[in-house]
Amino acid sequence: MARSARPRREASRSRTRLGVDIDPLLASAYAFHLPEALIAQHPIEPRDAARLMVVGSGAPEHHTFHKLPALLRLDDLLVLNETRVIRARLHGRREPSGGACEVFLLHPDGSAAQHWAALVRPAKKLPVGARVRFADGSLAEVTAAGEEGERSVTLHLTQPLEAFLREIGSVPLPPYVHEPVPEEDYQTVYARVEGSVAAPTAGLHFTPELLAALEARGIETARLVLDVGLGTFRPMTGERLDQHRMHAERYTIPRSCVESIARAKSAGRRVVAVGTTTLRALEGCVHDHGALDAVSDETSIFITPGFRFAVVDALVTNFHLPRSTLLVLVSAFAGRERILRAYTEAVAAGYRFYSFGDAMLLSRATE
């Protein structure tokens, strides 16, 4: 069973610009001012026209994402997460009242395809035993209540699950996106394996032309799958990082990916993860299994300051929200002070944040 990571060495205190000691294991150490207007409401067109901030040991550099092939090293190995977002949001009617309601499928609950963990609305009117009828005659029955408003539901379908989701479901856009967005705009162009309820958003910047440009430069790519869950985006509510519990996410690392990484590492080449989801799969596998291997498992790893990275040398990622686990992760990877300085510069320069926002190329902080 996957588990949360613990720092392998005590993280030292860092110092703010005002000279006040900050404990990097406090959630408040990852707060910053983000104007709401900078939270992107729609993707930019074309996808690779997004801005790209390159953050290494020197001052940040400002580019556009389509220049990524020239910004990478020719011997880099780029690792992509080819998960695809499912139509997880289901609208139906409560029985027998007929009231409108929503069932948001999170992930399969056990081995049987008809059992799911879900969020429901209105939660108070959908206790254990409640039934939801859908337009095709299919039924969802609430069988158990879990933590933080989750429910266990059993689906009684009139058609195969894939066909049911295509007909009844819709892709769940992030809650802060208030404008309609075409479904395919919330999928990467290389999405292949259905299973996520949120997109691996760093990959949204890639286009077929950009992938072709990477190949033309001889930059190798490898692929894995991590099914992104809502737990990744759940805000931290406790005062300390060790009070936050990450939800488990399923991943599959194929043998071909492991072999590509092994060749790169043996040759001293960089492994560049596209997205925090790719990084969590790779580092979570090493943390839980002792080495990178071709496995299908789940990970609930929470990467915090002091974590020792075993696989990933550079990271392509979007700009994340204040006090989020994703901001903690990139701070552990590249250094908290470096990240917060870069974020301050990004806010001043009008960079767009979060799922449909701009991107960063980060080098791992050296110890």
What is the span of the domain harbouring residue 163? 89-170
Look-up of token digits 């894939």? 162
SS3 152: strand
Q: Strand pairing partners for 226? A: 251
Whichever domain contains 133, its CATH number is 2.40.10.240
Domain end position, chosen among 131, 148, 170:
170
Average pLDDT, integer, range 235-243:
88
CB of 8 within 8 A of CB of 308?
A: yes
The pLDDT tens digits of the residues spanning 195-234 come to 999 999 999 999 999 999 999 999 999 999 999 998 777 7
The pLDDT tens digits of the residues spanning 117-165 come to 999 999 999 999 999 999 999 999 999 998 777 999 999 999 999 999 9
Is residue 366 very low, low, confident or very high in pLDDT (cuts 50, 70, 90)?
confident
The pLDDT of residue 14 is above 50: no
Look-up of token digits 């043996």? 266
In a domain, 248, yes or no: yes
What pLDDT does residue 9 have? 40
Domain end position, chosen among 170, 199, 228:
170
The pLDDT tens digits of the residues spanning 331-348 come to 999 999 999 999 999 999
Other residues' Cβ atoms within 10 Å of the Cβ of residue 361: 23
Closest-CA residue to 128 (of 113, 115, 141, 147): 141
Terminal CA-CA length for the chain: 30
How many domains are there within the chain? 2
Residues 73 and 125 in one domain: no
Tell me the C-alpha distance between 172 and 119, whole Å. 12
Closest-CA residue to 195 (of 110, 84, 116, 87): 84
Residues 61 and 122 in one domain: no
SS3 260: helix
What pLDDT does residue 230 have? 81
What pLDDT does residue 111 have? 64
Domain end position, chosen among 121, 142, 170:
170
Strand-pair category, 83-85 with 296-299: unpaired
HSE (CB half, 13 Å, CA atoms) of 8?
A: 7
Q: Indicate the pTM of the whole model.
A: 0.91
Whichever domain contains 311, its CATH number is 3.40.1780.10
In a domain, 176, yes or no: no
Residues 344 and 229 in one domain: yes
Residues 22 and 128 in one domain: no
Residues 67 and 113 in one domain: no
Is residue 177 very low, low, confident or very high in pLDDT (cuts 50, 70, 90)?
confident
Residues 26 and 127 in one domain: no
Closest-CA residue to 84 (of 271, 231, 277): 277
Residues 146 and 260 in one domain: no
